[in-house]
A and B are shown apart, each in its own frame.
Chain A
Amino acid sequence: MSELSAPSPTGGAMAGARVGATTPARGLSGLVSRRGLGMAALILLLSFLTIYPFSMLMYGSLHSTPPGMAGEYNLDGYRQLMTREALGILLNTIGISLGKTIPSLGLAVFLAWIIARTDTPYRDKLEVLITLPFFIPPILTAMAWAMLGNPQVGLLNQVFKWATGANYSPINVYSWGGVVWHMVQYSTPFLFLFIVDVFRAMDPSLEESSRMCGASRLRTFGGITLMLMLPALTNSFILSFIRGMENFESPLFFGTPAKITVITTEMYNSINHHATPDYQYATAIGFAVMALMFLLVFAQWRILRGRSFATVTGKGYSPSVMKLGKWRWVTFGFCALFFAVTVVLPVSQLLIGSFFRFFGFYQWDMLTTEHYQAVFSSSEIWRAVTNTMMLGLVGATLTMALGAIVAYISVRTKWRGRRVIDALAWLPWMMPGMVLGIGFLWAFAMLPGPIPIYGTIWALLLAYLALGTPVATRVMTGAYAQLSFDLEECSRVHGASFFQTLWRILVALAWPSFAVGWVLTFFGIMRELSASVLLYSVGSEVLSVVLMKLWANGLAEQVSVIGLLMMLLVILFRWVQIKILQRYVTTLGA
């Protein structure tokens, strides 16, 4: 009520600037209704991206046949979930996710401590290298590791045999350990990105006062530093655990050959590898996963409520850096080793793989460039490159624009309905790509004839938009939160209108975050596999799907070529992102 009838002073100023002081009332009502229309459109768009596939998922799980076909409502899908086999898959998923999250967290804390709190040489460079794996599409390293750790012809096993003269293979990536190992490579940098900031932002006097109280450095670290970080560690643990349960690439590549099934691969198999796709079962799993995610997010919220310690102060001193003496080269070596194993090794495998006629047979007379020729002359691959680039550029731009608007409305205005918008934008956070993929699959199939989205590139674009919105919103929320309201109000007071203010001040000051978020979203689209593999059709393939098809056809060498090209792109974009961050974010912060 108060929102509409008694406009805030900002609304008044805006109307005054627009229509002049003579007719403030008319200008105001016109503005309010225009704002109402805009909000309605936004809610509609977000509902289409989230609620619609969500309800289709529910419908699908309760209906015996795909949409449009005669069938009946029953609970068969859920009944299938209640079997011992399905329960085993669920436990498997939880086990694998726990199995990767725990060592990743330990590793990430150790790496973050090295980077943020020791005098290890070249820390700034190491930080960039350690976080690089996070930006590489997992499908690339999955394929590289499948070549490296293949029990018969894997490069690591060959080197081991050659070096020791043994005739057995110590490494087999097609195993529980292989799945976990591949996930650890991704969750460690992910967790590191969170934890290193917590280490850096901590008020150093909290630790110094412990030293003054007589506690040694070690005791201070255990009793104060880690305890203060506990909420943040719990938070990132749960996040990483959720991501582990959503993971598709690792169990697909390393679990499926070893008959290890998790929720995502089970969904994929029940649609793609059954004689008749069992949609009802797949959607029932999807729904169960979402319920589980919801419980986890709820648990996270309950655990952390009121426990996020404000340990950050603006005081000038940065946390003390521990002098390691000779040991600093050991910590340097550890960071370098992590980079070597997670990036250098798989990239080298791709490089080697791309130049030999057959992967696994590395002799001089097998050197060839025929795979490069094959890749560059394949129209299907070129189409996929074009599709991926188009989807990446357009998708990232649209996602960030949507995120910027949602974030602005939810943190910078008091407009009615802003909480609905915020909640809708967050909803996909609880939907793994695979689940959202199935939801969209049905959602698009159910659309009336004149809207041909099903089986087109638009289907992928909309799915990417939905998947990327939570992160985009979060990035922009952070960016707006750093800008004080004074800047905005100052601009308003000096006569700029609402939109001028938004453009001049917020966009001008928040654009580094926008750019960073854009690159992040672009990476997200490039690496996306689980939704794409369900929503693509002939003509709208993307690179990750093409890679998977080539791999399934045994063309590991061409996969290597494409993988290398994607790696180049990743490094290029990451470099641009870091340059932007260095130039703008640090100068803004200082």
Chain B
Amino acid sequence: MSAISLQNISRHFGDFAAVDGVDLEAATGEFLTLLGPSGCGKTTTLRMVAGLEQNTGGRIVIGDEVVSDAERGFFMPPERRQLGMVFQSYAIWPHMTVFDNVAYPLRIRRRPKDEIQQRVTKALKLVEMDSFASRPAPALSGGQQQRVAIARALVFEPRVLLLDEPLSNLDARLRTQTGDEFRALQKRLGITSLYVTHDQGEAMSLSDRVVVMQKGRILQIGAPEDIYQRPRSRAVAEFFGAPNLVETTVRGCKQLANGLFELDVAGQGWSGTCRAGEAFASGVPALVMLRPETLTLADAATGGMSWTGEVASSIFRGAQRSLVVKTVAGALNVDTTAFAHPAVGSQVAIVADAAAAWALPATRQG
């Protein structure tokens, strides 16, 4: 049974569709991330699950309970859906102490006093904020407010936890640390989580599955590795980093044992093999995605997917060095170790890892 099930849900503002026919299932205990640029409809989708916005089409089921059904005109208000939510601004009430903030959901549910005391303390311990219980909320740092917001969302053991860009207001270092801690906590509690972010790194490192959205529609759903290494379309590929997309023509195609396909592709003056997720006919154009970190420098071109070219620019990034190399396959971005140091203007050879080269249909949009 799915913990959350979105069935063809839409949200229209007049003629504009913020969310357009989204289907999505989240398994119990799963960490599902909605990822996309701002305005792609991910937050609206989350808010429709929360009940803070009403879907104009489709059905939302949480557990085995229908919470919203546009066709039947049924809508359950947010307070009755039993969901926990963490907001981007944390929404910690400044007129209350940390304890009162976390106790609020239990007081609303009229739990006895000693139970409130015990459960709030437990929730605060979970996020390591128990020593701050009597602090007034405005006296907390951003990271601390974030922990309190998580404690408040978890304290009444909600069916699902919703998180709306909860890390985006933290500074970079705290963001990674808090994200990792939260992921560990989520796994330990086994709570189904629906997470919204525009940060690819967060989506990759936290999620069981990632849902890439654009213009109100889902482009692709899959494990982080799938989305990153085996995108279905150019839009998904380009959403992560700066991949090289090389125009080629398919010359041959054969299915591999693991269900993938191996393609024989040719560009201008070169040819090689790459992987694909679907069968391609011979003679059709294909875009081959080469992630910059899968390209390596070599002494000389070795045939297959390898090229020589002139280094057009070289940027030191600390852990790695980003090169742009002009080849017959176009200007290629190459991420190499920071110790390799080819001079700008010098000739280098680049070799692609055939297992990491991934073909996309050249014509598919979105």
Contact = CB atoms under 8 A, between A and B. Distances in A.
A298 interface: no
A459 B104 CA distance: 60
Contact of A212 (B78, B88, B89, B138): B78
Contacts of A351: none
Contacts of A311: 94
A208 B78 CA distance: 9
A309 B109 contact: no
Given A228-B94, A309-B138, A214 B105 contact: yes
A500 interface: no
Interface in B80-111: 80, 82-85, 87-89, 91, 93-95, 104-105, 108-109
Interface in A174-210: 203, 205-206, 208-210
Contacts of B138: 309-310
Interface of A: 203, 205-206, 208-217, 219, 224, 227-228, 230, 309-311, 313, 315, 320
22 contacts: A205-B87, A205-B88, A205-B89, A206-B93, A209-B87, A210-B93, A211-B78, A211-B79, A212-B84, A212-B85, A214-B156, A215-B79, A215-B108, A216-B77, A217-B77, A227-B93, A228-B94, A228-B95, A310-B138, A315-B88, A315-B89, A320-B52
A224 B78 contact: no
Contacts of B105: 213-214
Contacts of B123: none
Contact of A310 (B77, B94, B109, B149): B94
Given A227-B93, A309-B95, 15 more contacts: A205-B88, A205-B89, A209-B93, A210-B104, A212-B50, A212-B153, A213-B79, A214-B79, A214-B82, A215-B108, A216-B79, A217-B77, A228-B94, A309-B94, A313-B89
Interface of B: 50-52, 77-80, 82-85, 87-89, 91, 93-95, 104-105, 108-109, 138, 149, 152-153, 156, 162
Contacts of B79: 211-217
A320 B51 CA distance: 12
Nearest to B138: A309
Contacts, number: 74
Which secondary structure dominates where chain A touches chain B? Answer: helix
Contacts of A217: 77, 79
Contacts of A215: 79, 104, 108
Nearest to B95: A227
Contacts of B51: 211
Nearest to B136: A306
Contacts of B89: 203, 205, 313, 315
A203 B91 contact: yes
A7 B138 CA distance: 37
Contacts of A309: 94-95, 138
A224 B93 contact: yes
Contacts of B78: 208, 211-212
A203, A209, A224 pick with most chain B CB within 10 angstroms: A209
Which 9 pairs of residues, A with B, have the shortest CB-CB distance? A209-B91, A213-B105, A309-B94, A205-B91, A205-B87, A212-B85, A211-B78, A214-B108, A214-B79
A321 to B, nearest CB: 12
A313 B50 CA distance: 21
B50 A230 contact: no
Contacts of A320: 52
Contacts of B88: 205, 315
B300 to A, nearest CB: 51
Nearest to A228: B95
Contacts of A313: 89
Nearest to A220: B79
Nearest to A219: B108
A209 B94 CA distance: 13
B113 to A, nearest CB: 18
A227 B93 CA distance: 10
Given A213-B152, A214-B105, A206 B52 contact: no
Nearest to A213: B105
A214 B109 contact: yes
